[in-house]
A and B are shown apart, each in its own frame.
Chain A
Amino acid sequence: MSASAMGNVPEEPPGSLLRRIAWHWRYDEKRELWIGWWTLVVFYNLYGLLFFVITRTQPPPEPSLGSSEVVEWFADRRHGLVYGYAIVFIVGGATAIMNATLAYSMRRMSVSRAFAYSYLVIYALATLPGMLIMGVACTVGAMRPDRDPELMRWLYDFAFLSFEGTMGVFLVGSLVWMLAVLLDENGVFPKWFGYLNLCNALTEVVVAPAWIFKSGAFAWNGTIAWWINMGVFVTYTIVFLTLLRRMILREDFGTGPLPDLSPGRAPAPSGLLKAAR
Chain B
Amino acid sequence: MRRTDGEVLLLGALPVVGVIWLSAFLLFPGFVQPMSPTMSAEEVAAFYRDPENLPRIRYSMILFNWFAVGFVPILALIVLQIRRMAHRTPIFSYAILACAAGGPTIFLMANLFWLLAAFRPMRDPQLTLMFNDLAWVTFSSQVGFLIAQSVILALAIYLDRQERPVFQPWVAHFNLVVAALLIPSAFTGAAMTGPIAWDGLLTFWVRNVAIGLWIIVMAVVLGRAIKRQRAEDEAVAA
Contacts of B86 in A (CB 8 A): 1-2, 258, 261
**Please, how many angstroms separate the alpha-carbon atoms of A2 and B88 in the complex?**
10
In chain A, positions 16-44 with a C-beta closer than 8 Å to chain B are 29-33, 35-36
A93 to B232, CA, bound (A): 34
Q: How far is the CA of A263 from the CA of B229 in the complex (A)?
A: 10
The answer to whether the Cβ of A191 comes within 8 Å of any Cβ in the partner chain is no
Using a CB-CB cutoff of 8 Å, which residues 191-249 of chain A contact chain B? Answer: none
CB–CB B134/A140 < 8 A: yes
The size class of the interface chain B forms with chain A is 35 or more
Q: Is A70 an interface residue (CB 8 A)?
A: no
Residues B91 and A33 in contact, CB atoms below 8 Å apart: yes
With A and B bound together, what is the CA distance between A143 and B77 in angstroms? 39
CB of A100 within 8 A of CB of B88, answer: no
Verify A142–B148 contact, CB threshold 8 A: no
- Across the interface, B233 reaches (CB within 8 A) one of A86, A124, A259, A263, namely A263
Q: Which residue of A lies closest to B93 (CB)?
A: A100
- CB–CB B134/A2 < 8 A: no
Q: Using CB atoms, name the residue of chain A closest to B37.
A: A143
Q: A107, B90: Cβ atoms under 8 Å? A: yes
Contact A140 B187, beta carbon cutoff 8 Å: no
Closest beta carbon of chain A to B225's beta carbon, Å: 11
Question: Closest approach, in angstroms, between the C-beta of A192 and any C-beta of chain B?
Answer: 26
B91 and A100: CB pair below 8 A? yes
Interface residues in A86-107 by Cβ distance below 8 A to B read 86-97, 99-101, 103-104, 107
Cβ-based interface call for A163 (8 A): no
Smallest Cβ-Cβ distance to A256: which chain B residue:
B88
Q: Are B88 and A259 in contact (CB under 8 A)?
A: yes
Q: Tell me what chain A mostly uses at the interface: helix, strand, loop, or mixed.
A: helix
B162 sits at the interface (CB 8 A): yes
Which of A1, A104, A261 is B84 in contact with, Cβ under 8 Å?
Answer: A261
Q: Determine which residue in A79, A124, A135 has the highest number of CB atoms from chain B within 10 A of its CB, and name it.
A: A124
Q: Of the candidates B95, B138, B232, which one forms a contact with A262 in the assembled complex, judged by CB atoms under 8 Å apart?
A: B232
Q: Which of A57-65, A144-152, A174-182 has 4 or more CB atoms under 8 Å from chain B?
A: A144-152
Q: Does B54 contact A (CB under 8 A)?
A: no
Stretch binding the partner chain, chosen from B8-16, B20-28, B139-147, B207-215:
B139-147
Residues of B within 8 A of A85 (CB): 141, 189
Partner of B127, one of A82, A128, A151: A151
Q: A52: which B residues are within 8 A, CB to CB?
A: none
Selected from A36, A124, A264, the residue in CB contact (under 8 A) with B91 is A36
Interface membership of chain A positions 3-26, coded 1 if the CB is closer than 8 angstroms to chain B and 0 otherwise:
000000000000000000000000
Is B91 a contact of A104 with CB atoms below 8 Å? yes
Q: Other than the known A86-B187, A93-B149, what 16 A-B pairs have Cβ atoms closer than 8 Å?
A: A2-B88, A89-B143, A93-B146, A96-B149, A100-B97, A103-B94, A104-B89, A127-B144, A128-B109, A136-B109, A147-B129, A151-B127, A258-B86, A258-B87, A261-B84, A264-B232
